[in-house]
Structure 1
Amino acid sequence: MRLSRRVVTSLAALGALAASTTPAFVHPHIFAEARLDVVIGADNKVQALQHVWRFDDLFSSTVLVEFDANKDLKLDHHELEEVGKTVHESLAEYNYFQVVTQDGKDVKMVAPDKLIAMMEDNQLIIVFESKLAEPLPLKGKLDFGVYDPTFYTAIDFVDDHAMAAEHLPKACSRSVIRPDPDEAIAANQSTLTDAFFNDPTGTDMSKIFATKLELNCTAAG
């Protein structure tokens, strides 16, 4: 695997992680400011999630150096396509850092067709849309989160408005949940396994740390 792919696959924490005994003490190496839009159709069912991730200057400059094949100090259309393709392949096994649940049960997602990469103000931006396997009725408690299960990448929603759900019916309320790591561990201690604390590739239980948009709906539609 050539170096350029190793750089971007670090998004999925395939590189070395900081030594730690619990996720609360793992320090992320890559930072991204994000926006999440929950797409609700005219039938009051969730159709898809739309993502925008803007990465930090250091990681963006690293990507620029590694993917600048013609060494002109910028990424042209074909080079950006290669970035998007590589990130798309790298994050597949991590469900593209997405978690969707209804009343605590996982909701199946369809992998995005592609990820679009752009450079703006010397920062890498990744844009993509993931559809749900089946439209999701607005009923019960729905959680939409974005997180890296390996804790290598910090996906940050700067303010609550960066997690949006337009056309939300009156039967639904929204809130943004930002779990405290220590409180999340304490609340889930009985279900956490040794693998959760010791496996650097991440486990499904690490979703308890995800920043989530929570919708509470009394009835569909």
Structure 2
Amino acid sequence: MLTICRKASGTVTALLALSAPAFAHPHVFAEARLDVVVNGDQVEALRHLWRFDDLFSSTVLIEFDRNKNLELDQGELQEVAGVVHESLAEFNYFQIVTANGKDVAMQAPAELIADFTDNQLIILFESLPKEPIPLEGTVAFGVYDPTFYTAIDFTEDEYMAVENLPPGCSRQVIRPDPEEAIAQNQETLTEAFFNDPAGNDLSKIFATTLEITCDANG
């Protein structure tokens, strides 16, 4: 759940509430781009760009436009970026990385950059792996909100890109079929699953992922 919370003048500005229970469908939408940067035979960094929907963006504008000039100046944008940075820390910034099926830990990004273009909020950041990620077997990358409140959408396969893909490696974008995903996970989709206040993996089931597969003999 993408949450922007900020104490101001003794009140808490909550654009999206972290403490709210999981919802059955997303309430905030963002179109995204992911660039996986490869250096030699290792993953060096992930570069993210999220462009939020008009409704959420207008809410951000109203909440953070301190001087009421109907735009976000640099100081206001820095405040937005700082609040988002803090709010998403416990959700690993909506990113998941696995190497041959095992989770890979990522460092928290040093900072987030906020922009406001064509009446839409844009968030950019770069994250680095905590330990080197060798390109061996299959390394997968996904971006999703574990509470299913925010939908992160890669509208084109090209928006999940790899820089410096080495010989012997291939890139593939995986888009799960919703009906098949539900059928395959039917046993876990219980009432308790949906009512878990800590969130669930529903959005992970439907998340678009990028896979880099490398031949050991390549």
Per the normalisation by structure 1, the TM-score is: 0.87
Q: Match for 1:85 among 82, 85, 94?
A: 82
Give the corresponding residue for 1:110.
Answer: 107
State the aligned residue count. 210
What CA distance in whole angstroms lies between the structure 1 residues aligned with 2:138 and 2:188?
Answer: 21
Taking the TM superposition and a 5 Å limit, the aligned residue runs for 1:200-215 are 200-204=197-201, 206-215=203-212
CA contact (8 A) 1:44 1:138 kept: yes
Show structure 2 runs of 5+ residues with no match.
Answer: 1-6
Give the corresponding residue for 1:40.
Answer: 38
Q: Which moved more, 1:208-217 or 1:101-110?
A: 208-217
Structure with bigger helix share is 1
Determine helix, strand or coil for the equivalent of 1:216. Answer: strand
Give the corresponding residue for 2:57.
Answer: 60
What CA distance in whole angstroms lies between the structure 2 residues aligned with 1:191 and 1:103?
Answer: 23
Give the corresponding residue for 2:137.
Answer: 140
Q: 1:15, CA displacement in angstroms?
A: 4.1
CA contact (8 A) 1:146 1:210 kept: yes
* Residues 74 and 109 of structure 1: CA distance in aligned 2, closer, same or farther (over 3 Å): same
Q: 1:196, CA displacement in angstroms?
A: 2.8
Give the corresponding residue for 1:22.
Answer: none
Show structure 1 runs of 5+ residues with no match.
Answer: 19-25
Give me the CA root mean square deviation.
Answer: 2.1
Q: Match for 1:31 among 17, 29, 32?
A: 29
The aligned amino acid for 1:102 is: A
* Residues 90 and 122 of structure 1: CA distance in aligned 2, closer, same or farther (over 3 Å): same
The aligned amino acid for 2:28 is: I
1:101 equivalent to 2:98? Answer: yes
Describe the superposition over 1:35-61 as per-residue Cα deviations: whole angstroms up to 9, x where unpaired.
0000101x2200111000000111111
Describe the superposition over 1:7-58 as per-residue Cα deviations: whole angstroms up to 9, x where unpaired.
1xx2x7544654xxxxxxx2211111100000101x2200111000000111
Give the corresponding residue for 1:21.
Answer: none
The aligned amino acid for 1:38 is: V
